[in-house]
Amino acid sequence: MGDNSIKISMRYIIIMLSIGLLFTSCNYNNKEVNVFKGNGIIVIDSASRGIELVTISGKDKQISSYPVYYIGSKADTISLGRKPISMFTDEKSARKYDTAKNWNSIKSMDISIYVDTIIHLSNNVDFTHFDNADADHEILDSVRFYKAFPVFIENKSDSLISVGTHNFVNYLTREVKNENGNWIEIESADRGALDGTAKRHLVIEPNHILIAKMSRYKGDMRAECRLKFNISWGGANEYVTYSNVFIDNIMKEQLKALQAELTK
């Protein structure tokens, strides 16, 4: 009985110390971090809290943007940096994946995509320009703190897969269900201007995950949404899969305009 009491007391002390460390980390080194508990995972976001929604420009499809903040093994707690991961490849990873033999073909890929609306992150976007006198000198003009949801992509196969290049998932677009139950794509993936020189491939190892951020739109109605992951070559779909369905804001005017385009 005495030994059991000691074990229970020690377990209680360890739990309380862990909680204390977790909350202490919310403001370490005078840098704000936000801690969220989602679908079986704790996410520590180093970006400042999101305060605004993205304003949709016009009635056309928006250019999709899903910056990547983490690639690695699954864990109970994952920390995200203030900025996305580097878009440049590192020599160690390049050697590792260049010689790897366990690659999945596109058609045999097996991934799951989950948008967790319980976790409210921030996608901090820097707006910059280059100095006229020094083309290599980038000057920060402003920072926008957009509200965002995390997008979890898991490699459920036993082989390596690549889900894009640089530091954003360039095969993802957002769809909205209209009043007739049809899914309307409100984003387009612009891959034409990508420079591949020394840029990384977003490789997910077996049973590992990638976490991207989905900035949320300003809208005048709520609707069912989902993300579409589509790799196509020459107009033919090689691999298509979808995320879970979630509720978020959309612009009614944009949805009607895109629906009208489909009926022309």
pLDDT digits (tens, 9 = 90+) for 62-98: 989 999 999 999 999 999 998 999 988 888 888 888 8
Q: Is the pTM of this model over 0.85?
A: no
* Residue range 212-225, pLDDT digits in tens: 999 999 999 999 99
d(CA 62, CA 5): 60
Q: State in Å, rounded, how far the first CA of the chain is from the last one.
A: 78
* Residue range 109-166, pLDDT digits in tens: 999 999 999 999 999 887 777 777 766 677 878 888 999 999 999 999 999 999 988 8
Q: What is the DSSP letter of 85?
A: P
Q: What is the predicted pLDDT for the residue at 35?
A: 92
Rounded to the nearest angstrom, the gap between the alpha carbon of residue 86 and the centroid of all alpha carbons in its chain is 14
Phi, psi of 244 (to 5 degrees): -65, 160
Q: How many CA atoms lie within 13 A of 209 on its CB side?
A: 19
Residue 211, phi-psi category: left (phi > 0), alpha (psi -120 to 50), beta (remainder):
beta
CB distance 78 to 42 below 8 Å: yes
- The residue assigned the tokens 């579409």 is 228
Domain layout of the chain by residue ranges: 1-32, 39-262
Secondary structure (DSSP) of 126-147? EEEEE-SS-TT-EEEEEEEEEE
d(CA 45, CA 80): 5
In this prediction, residue 6 has a pLDDT band, given cuts at 50, 70 and 90, of: very low
Instruction: Compute the radius of gyration of the chain from its Cα atoms.
Output: 21
Q: What is the DSSP letter of 100?
A: -
Q: What is the DSSP letter of 215?
A: E
Residue 10 has pLDDT above 70, yes or no: no
What residue type is 49 in one-letter code?
A: R
% of the chain exceeding 90 in pLDDT: 48
Interacting residues of 73 by C-beta distance below 8 A, sequence separation 6+: 207, 208, 209
Secondary structure (DSSP) of 42-79? EEEE-SPPP-B-BPP-SSSPEEP--BEEEEEE--SEEE
